[in-house]
Amino acid sequence: MSWNPTNYEFAWNVVWQYREWLVAGTLLTLKIAAVSMALAMILALPLALARMSRFMPLSLVTQFYVAVMRAIPLLVFILWAYYGLTLISGIQFDPFGAGVFCLTAQYSAWLSEIYRAGLQAIDKGQREAALSTGLSRSRAFARVIWPQAWRIIIPPLASNFIGIIKDSSLVGIIGLNELMRQAQIADSLSFRPFELFTAAMVIYIALALVISPLASLVERRAARSLSVQTRRATRHQRSLGAAA
């Protein structure tokens, strides 16, 4: 078949033909993105607190970590972790593990900066008011500071989740059969790059379009139900206390 863009015959049926591959790839993409995002969200909090610490060495180490993560191209990082780090550390990563490691390491750095911005946006009078009633510093954080910062943090979290989904396409390079790689393999068998990569693109777009409104929903719910949450937390705490 000679290449002639003017009379290219579309064969969309290849998309249908490889549908099971694409679905499996989409699910793996979602899985690696979700696992990495969850870990990054957890790791970002201690990072943000360390960054804001008045203990200078701790703050500097964290700043260095964030700067390094910002500087490394993800593709290089993934290849380095999968082929290089394995050799010197003895840790045997499978492609999924290496992908989660790299995405988590990078996104925890971005997210820690987002957390920090959210936390610093809260007036310091909030902390003072909480402390002045006798709350411990950790309670003041958990009950007063964090619930307010969280509302500021949610929208950028959503765009970072979309980002992690897109970046996970790079993990295909080390053989993880996520959406991008599935499309690539299907192409190498069918020689239908336009149809297959269009399909992959449409799926990525669809994922992003689903996540954005979902995030605004979460944001609205977070705003509305904080009082209720606090009441529930109190009840829960009390039942824990009664059990002890």
For another protein, give the closer residue by CB, 149 or 176: 149
Q: Which stretch binds another protein (CB under 8 A): 144-152, 166-174, 175-183, 190-198?
A: 144-152
From 63, 136, 188, 216, residue interacting with another protein (rule: CB under 8 A): 136
**How far apart (Å, rounded) are the C-alpha atoms in residues 185 and 193?**
10
What phi and psi, each to the nearest 5 degrees, are found at residue 78?
A: -65, -45
Does 133 bind another protein (CB under 8 A)? Our answer is: yes
**How far apart (Å, rounded) are the C-alpha atoms in residues 164 and 161?**
5
On whether the CB atoms of residues 112 and 39 are closer than 8 A, the answer is no
Instruction: Please spell the DSSP secondary structure of 195-212, one letter per residue.
Output: HHHHHHHHHHHHHHHHHH
For another protein, give the closer residue by CB, 13 or 237: 237
Does 220 bind another protein (CB under 8 A)? Our answer is: no
- Least Å distance, CB 131 to another protein, is 6
User: What tokens appear for 231 in the block?
Assistant: 């009441």
Does 13 bind another protein (CB under 8 A)? Our answer is: no
Q: Is 232 exposed, middle or buried (0-12, 13-18, 19+ CB in 10 A)?
A: exposed
For another protein, give the closer residue by CB, 120 or 188: 120
**How far apart (Å, rounded) are the C-alpha atoms in residues 111 and 41?**
7
Q: Which x/- pattern over 91-130 shows residues binding another protein (rule: CB under 8 A)? A: --------------------------------x-xx-xxx
Q: Residues interacting with another protein, by CB under 8 A?
A: 123, 125-126, 128-137, 139, 143-144, 147-148, 151, 223, 226-227, 230-231, 234-235, 237-238, 241
